[in-house]
Structure 1
Amino acid sequence: MPFEHQRSFYRISYPGPARPALNVEGRSFDVVDCSESGLRYELKGRDALPPAGSTIKGTVRFKRGREVDIVGRVARHYGDTVALSLEGDGIPFRLILDEQQYLRRNFLRHLSGDEDEDPAGS
Structure 2
Amino acid sequence: MFKGLGNLGDMAGMMKKAQEFQSQMAEMQENLGNVTVLGESGAGLVKATATAKGELTALDIDPSIFQPDEKEVVEDLILAAIKDAQQKAAQRSQDEMGRLTEGLGLPKDFKLPF
Instruction: State TM-score, norm by structure 2.
Output: 0.27
Structure with greater Cα Rg: 2
Which one has the bigger strand percentage? 1
